[in-house]
Amino acid sequence: MRITGVSTRVVDAGDRDWVFVRVQTDEPGLIGWGEASLGWHTRAVTGAVADLEPLLVGQDPRPVERLWQLMSRAPYFKGGIVVMSAISGIDQALWDIKAKALGIPLFELLGGPVRDRVRAYVNLGSELGGGTKCSEGSARAARAAREAGFDAMKVYPMAPARPLEGAAELHRAADLVAAVREAAGHDADIMVDLHGRTTPAVAISLGRMLEPMRPYFLEEPCQPGDVDALAEVARAIPIPVAAGERLVTAQEFRQLVERRACAVIQPNICYCGGITQIRRLAALAEPSLVSIAPHNPNGPIGTMVSVHVALAVSNFLILELVRDDVPWRSEVVDWHVEVRDGYVLPPSRPGIGYPEDVALPGGHPAEDTAG
């Protein structure tokens, strides 16, 4: 079996694009799919996929680790998040091919299920059509999430903050989280995402105010890349800290874990290096009792891959699940995650779950890009 081509398929999904990666083999009907979506960097990612294609054509797709090392080490200059996104999508497609060739779901190839289902949470910013910052709207979205069967949800209470915020802004943010807590009930888990919008000083002040609302974790309290700042927040508040959605290298995650700067890491399968790398990151975190909660605002392929990984990784905690970013999300592919009572059920199809071709809904901007 040999790789005969690598291409990308772009779908305009509103405020960001989905970049699907297609790896073709010389076996009739055997195609691998992956996702390399990286918000607002579509052309850069598709170009990076095209740059990697010559390394892969003619290769056997099944020794995935060898090909991952080839893509990440053969080029003389190291790539950043754009190149790692391209590698991520190709890597997923290679795993997809291997699992399809064996006739088994991907999670079985990853060691088999550690759990029978995957706990998921919904994003209240998405539920509100882009992140309304009002207590009434957030409470309404929280009630809708509970009615849909979810007992976990994420809220975004802060706009980009000044180096120090006064009492009025801090109380406004705390009141929003309190409204979500009241609407969701005492038995719900509420994640608070600061999106890197606060300094350590502001994050610590707000974290202490949020303690009575018992957040499940406080996500990205300061900008990524400053491990000292993150560790400062983690040591100052009683709320577990989560971070890592914008990081891509094992070295970056190792620093978070070694400094105990967070209790939860959040790599994204579409730009952290794919399945091959996210398994390493989970293994890196596990001995330090750090959990993994994959960042997943991704399209349908990246979401399904995240589900497979979540089933097979022992220190998995919870998965972000986007349902309503575009009204035609369900039309893009012929199969979707099955959710019951806030949990995603195990996929049953071979590989990731998508056959030879992925449907594209008529009337929605899309582009096929040959590698």
Q: Indicate which residue of 41, 171, 186, 295 is catalytic.
A: 295
Other C-beta atoms lying within 10 Å of the C-beta of residue 65: 10
Tokens read off for 131: 């992140």
Helix H or strand E encompassing 332: helix 329-332
Catalytic site includes residue 186: no
Strand bridging mode 189-193 / 241-243: unpaired
For residue 309, the cross-strand partners are none
Q: Indicate which residue of 41, 171, 195, 308 is catalytic.
A: 195
Buried b (16+ CB within 10 A) or exposed e, 206-226: bbebbeebebbbbbbbbebee
Tokens read off for 96: 């997809």
| Residue in 318, 321, 314, 250 with CA at minimum distance from that of residue 287 | 314
For residue 25, the cross-strand partners are 3
CA distance 204 to 218: 10
- CB neighbour list of residue 61: distance below 8 Å, 6 or more residues apart: 1, 2, 3, 23, 25, 32, 67, 94, 97, 98
Catalytic site includes residue 171: no
Per-residue HEC secondary structure of 207-238 comes to HHHHHHHCCCEEECCCCCCCHHHHHHHHHHCC
Catalytic residues: 195, 295
